[in-house]
Amino acid sequence: MNNINKIQVKYRPEIDGLRAFAVVAVIINHLNKEILQSGFLGVDIFFVISGYVITSSIFKRENKNFKEFIFSFYSRRIKRIIPALLVFVLIVSLITLLINNEPTLVLRTGISSLLGVSNLYLYKRSFGYFQESSQLNPFTNTWSLGVEEQFYFILPLLAWFSGFAKGGKNSEKVFFFIMVSISIISLFLFANIYSTNQPAAYFLMPMRIWEMGAGCITFLI
């Protein structure tokens, strides 16, 4: 476990390098699957990176009380995600209205992405990510952001009540045990549900926690 002082956790440029690698892999896969058939796994890599980074951000901050911790955590997430997402949704929605005679599905997906639930909306519509109807929806790619945002409702609570966010004695070991346990359950769900309900295994947060959990565990180790 990490026994280092919180102020020693610094910017890791290689993490951004891995992010870039993951994004490029996904883009290449979308442009031409024959070039990089497994490029979609860049999303899975991104989930692991997110788990690592978000755990790092919690670890290196001093928190006086729960209210301060939660406010700080979510204010940082909102500032990082919402401005760029809002601009993206507005621009793409306007373009959609100009060129799409039936924009309802696209616009509803865009709105749901602003609420952090586009993955739930796509699952409710029973769309697989690789179906043609999904690939023609410019907001389909926001499903992964929805998964992350829903994970953000769970992680800070686990971090605080395990004592990890407060820097309590043995809190890292407690948090490590919690994340390992949750990740194992999530992986078990994913493996068992994938064969019978692929959209659920793909879009829903409980079946994706193990990937972000892997990032959390990597940081703790």
Backbone angles phi, psi at 128, to 5 degrees: -85, 150
> What distances in angstroms separate CA 173 from CA 57, 78, 131, one per listed residue?
18, 29, 43
pLDDT digits 0-9 by tens, 42-70: 899 999 999 999 999 998 777 779 999 99
For position 35, what pLDDT does the model report?
86
Q: From CA 22, how far away is CA 8, in angstroms rounded?
A: 27
- Using DSSP, state whether 35 is helix, strand or coil: coil
Q: What is the pLDDT of residue 4?
A: 44
pLDDT at 114: 96
Task: Render 152-194 in DSSP notation, one character per residue.
Answer: TTTHHHHHHHTTGGGT-TTHHHHHHHHHHHHHHHHHHHHHHHT
Q: Cβ(8)–Cβ(172) under 8 Å?
A: no
The tokens for 56 are: 């790092």
In this prediction, residue 12 carries a pLDDT of: 79
Which residue positions in the chain have pLDDT lower than 70? 1-10, 126-135
What local confidence, expressed as pLDDT, does residue 127 receive? 59
- Predicted TM-score (pTM) of the model is 0.85
Residue 160: count other Cβ atoms within 10 Å of its Cβ. Answer: 21
- pLDDT value, residue 5: 46
Q: What H or E segment, with its residue span, contains residue 136?
A: none
In Å, how far are 9, 28, 201, 218 from 196, measured between CA atoms?
Answer: 42, 29, 9, 30
Q: Which of 140, 147, 158, 150 is nearest to 96 (CA)?
A: 140
Packing angle of the helix pair 66-99, 104-114 (nearest 10 deg): 160
